[in-house]
């Protein structure tokens, strides 16, 4: 499943009970993952072009350390839903940073990705959106998009390392 290109969700099916249940399951899975800020449907065994990104990614991008804000427990971070996402622009400037992945536990690798992206997508009620993202949030979007295209961090990182305890 992780190596397959995920199928698009027909716009008429976005509000279907099946897709609503999938999004609920994905939100619960991401909220329960202590180190995750994003999750793609293929990671839970469903080949659909849907991923979530936690607003925690914006906090990390602004320099807030993970888990240091007692006012916002992990399970309460808002999770944005991206359905049938498409990058229409990516900056030429790339930055290498370490990345981990819930599908490759205990490992990380440095990956060079564009600093800025412009993404078009549908939300969970079927509304169309388009906007630019930068910094860590843009990196997470690209990581999750890779999952929709059957690409893992082990395919992009030059060298994988063990996470030190």
Beta bridge partners of 119: 87, 131
Active site residue 144: yes
- Note whether 77 and 56 are within 8 A (CB): yes
From the list 99, 120, 144, 164, the catalytic residue is: 144
Give me the sheet containing 107-114, strands edge to edge: 94-100, 107-114, 160-162
- Note whether 120 and 85 are within 8 A (CB): yes
CA atoms of 128 and 97, how far apart (whole Å): 30
By annotation, the residues acting in catalysis are 144
């Amino acid at each position: 499943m992780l190596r397959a290109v995920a199928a698009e969700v027909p716009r008429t099916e976005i509000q279907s009970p099946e897709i609503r249940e999938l999004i609920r399951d994905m939100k619960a899975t991401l909220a329960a993952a202590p180190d995750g800020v994003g999750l793609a449907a293929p990671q839970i065994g469903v080949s659909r072009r849907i991923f979530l990104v936690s607003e925690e990614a914006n906090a990390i991008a602004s320099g807030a350390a993970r888990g240091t804000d007692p006012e916002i427990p992990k399970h309460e971070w808002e999770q944005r839903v991206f359905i049938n996402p498409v990058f229409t622009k990516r900056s030429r400037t790339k930055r290498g940073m370490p990345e981990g992945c819930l599908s490759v536990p205990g490992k990380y690798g440095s990956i060079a990705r564009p600093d800025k992206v412009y993404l078009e997508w549908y939300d969970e009620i079927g509304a169309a959106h388009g906007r630019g993202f930068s910094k860590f949030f843009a990196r997470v979007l690209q990581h999750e998009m890779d999952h929709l295209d059957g690409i893992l961090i082990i395919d992009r990182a030059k060298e994988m390392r063990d996470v030190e305890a």
